[in-house]
Chain A
Amino acid sequence: MEQYGRFPPLSPAQAAALRRSAANGRAALGRRTLLRAAGLGLAGAAGLTACGIPAAGRTADGTSSTDHSAEEKTVDFSNWTEYIDVSDDGKHRPTLEAFTKATGITVKYTEDINDNVEFFGKIKPQLSAGQDTGRDLMVLTDWLCARMIRLGWVQKLDPSHLPHAFANLEQRFRSPDWDPGRAYTYPWQGIATCIAYNKKATKGRAVTSVSQLLDDPALKGRVAMLSEMRDTIGMTLLDMGHTPETVTDDTFDAALARVQKAVDSQQIRKFTGNDYTDGLSKGDIAACLAWAGDLVQLRVDDPDIGYAFPDAGFLFSTDNLLVPAGARHKTNAERLIDYYYQPQVAAQLSAYIAYVCPVAGVKPYLAKIDPELAGNPLILPDAAMDAKSHTFRSLTEAEDSAYEEKFSKLIGA
């Protein structure tokens, strides 16, 4: 290519002209040009210093915003995928539609949460600037709720709008250490983290432990783990005989190293958010860490998908409804929360999504929909499930960012 593209060599006259131009012409680097450049440089430096990212604000009780609920009969609800009941033709969401019919409030339901950390990164700029995120209600996992409350980005709920929620919240969810007495959040569902596999891809074999995920050569390159740090590290800790309730820097690093080894040996294909469901049903992912409720829904379409709770134990967490700072329709959001705490509505939701139900008194309603559901430990955990369940300890701010950074490196960034 070069032999055609090169400039033709300069004649001596041209070369001389070029030199003159560089010395005295426009291209000359004279005193004035240098002074001008220095001035620009100084102005630029001042400009750069003027920028800066303000501290993530902390206001006493969560910034309350003007509530437009009375004039605007609407509520913007952000949730995870496959986390609400859908009619058989896939076009309707029965419980949401019944809510609209009963209250006249239309719900703008968006499934735009796939991963807590990423979602937080997305809404953080608006929240720290004190702006409306465009959402009135969102569902976030407990540790992120704790962070949001700490930063003052969650609005305190008005108990007088939440009579059902107050009365019917299951005892075990009443007072987490990060939100005592549920002043800011109410659980949407409880989540059990388990192991899922596609029998077609594992040639009929069950996958029942994290060790198997990390070491079994038959699964090489077809294993996924969750991009949720507490799930992946928590399950690995349990497999190694540690408990996530008492995680220390040492045990965390050990678990991290164990997963890193599997990444390096290309045993692990990717780290996913809620999107593992797609790869799992296609068989690209033979086995993975998963959220139990998703599997019940997947198994309806594909009986080849199986799941297991490891003998070493599993991680239990909650996803919680909260009203972010700056929301325009807080009262409408509270009415929606309260609506889902009526046992018959909760039963209808649980019967479809099969996550752990936080509402007391749903059993008879579940039995009415399907007697088998009332005995399903995935929805109403039994003593055997409870004995194996573990929670990840609340981390301090410093631990939180240190662990999150190490974990981010592990998952490929």
Chain B
Amino acid sequence: MNPARRRLTPYLLLLAGVAWLLVFFVAPMVYQASTSVQTGSLDKGFRVTWHFATYWDALREYWPHFVRSLLYAGIATAACLAIGYPLAYMIAFRAGRWRNVVMVLVVAPFFTSFLIRTLAWETILADQGPVVRFLDAVHVLDVTSWLHVTQGHRVLATPLAVVCGLTYNFLPFMILPLYTSLERVDARLHEAAGDLYATALTTFRTVTFPLSLPGVVAGTLLTFIPASGDYINAELLGSTNQKMIGNVIQAQFLRVLDYPTAAALSFILMAAILAIVTVYIRRSGTEELV
């Protein structure tokens, strides 16, 4: 192969990917960035006036929604980790020949649409349904009401329902990367730790968990980022007082038709998530992701 062609090869290979990014990432971003500094109205049209105040106004008006979104997404991510880690550990080290079956079970919910799965929870958690009645009878709802995560004798239209919906919907995104990194841990390391008189707990603390950290970081990011921008769960399982920033952006785009505010909110959300993720990756020091 002549050197000129060899030099070109990597660029040719990049072509499809770069074109994809230009059309579906860069172009919409530029368009939205432009929209966020426009002013105008539906009838008169919107024109770029470099009106950066939109950002400040949007933030001042909707900061509670930002805080709520990040809080709900944070709690849901922690819950996913608490549920997902033991499960991924079990699949990686203890499932034996059932490993593939359990993996399919983890992924199975993806065979139906996100919307249908969330709507199903609306039915399961219905006020008059057996689940809620049971929780009420064993006084679980009294405790959660006292904690202000539910109200009265219901679960739907409360913060608890929204956080549970987020946890349920994003759990596989946590389990899959956790499983991948746990599966790569050499089982002989456990034997070696045992030979050196480490207890099971010490082995986990000093060998298994550190080796699974890339999975933890990837899992938490894959859960936290989409969860903080989600609006389906808050829309279907929450009430007016649980609206997240995704609901606001959707309403600004489709109801109020205030495109600049909607675009500005999207950029603020993106910046907030980027900032959080950067700090998080720095602190957890997982080089593979940066």
Contact = CB atoms under 8 A, between A and B. Distances in A.
Contacts of A7: 285
A147 to B, nearest CB: 9
Interface stretch (B42-50, B70-78, B82-90, B179-187): B42-50
B248 to A, nearest CB: 5
Interface residues of B, number: 49
A284 interface: yes
Interface string A255-286: 00000000100101111000000000011100
Interface string B254-268: 111111000000000
Given A49-B48, A52-B47, A54-B45, A201 B128 contact: yes
Interface string A190-217: 0000000000110000000000000000
A2 B284 CA distance: 6
Nearest to B151: A221
A395 to B, nearest CB: 13
B41 A401 contact: yes
A268 B243 CA distance: 14
A151 B257 CA distance: 15
B203 interface: no
Nearest to A220: B152
A268 B31 CA distance: 38
Interface string B265-290: 00000000000000000011110000
A53 B46 contact: yes
A384 to B, nearest CB: 35
Interface residues of A, number: 45
B198 to A, nearest CB: 15
Nearest to B281: A5
B160 interface: no
A47 interface: yes
B37 A413 contact: no
A241 interface: no
B30 interface: yes
B239 interface: yes
B41 A52 contact: no
B209 interface: yes
A401 B252 CA distance: 12
Interface in A357-413: 397, 401, 404-405, 408, 411-413
Contact of B126 (A117, A118, A283): A283
Interface string A148-179: 00010000000000000000000000000000
Contact of B256 (A4, A271, A405): A405
A282 B126 CA distance: 7
Interface of A: 1-2, 4-7, 44, 47-56, 117-118, 121-122, 124, 151, 200-201, 220-222, 263, 266, 268-271, 282-284, 397, 401, 404-405, 408, 411-413
6 contacts: A53-B38, A55-B44, A118-B254, A221-B157, A222-B154, A413-B255
Given A2-B283, A51-B31, A282-B123, 18 more contacts: A1-B284, A2-B284, A5-B286, A48-B37, A49-B34, A53-B38, A54-B45, A121-B254, A122-B254, A221-B239, A222-B154, A266-B239, A283-B126, A283-B128, A397-B43, A412-B239, A412-B247, A413-B250
Interface of B: 30-31, 33-35, 37-38, 40-48, 123, 126-128, 151-152, 154, 156-157, 209-210, 213, 216, 239-241, 243, 247-248, 250-259, 283-286
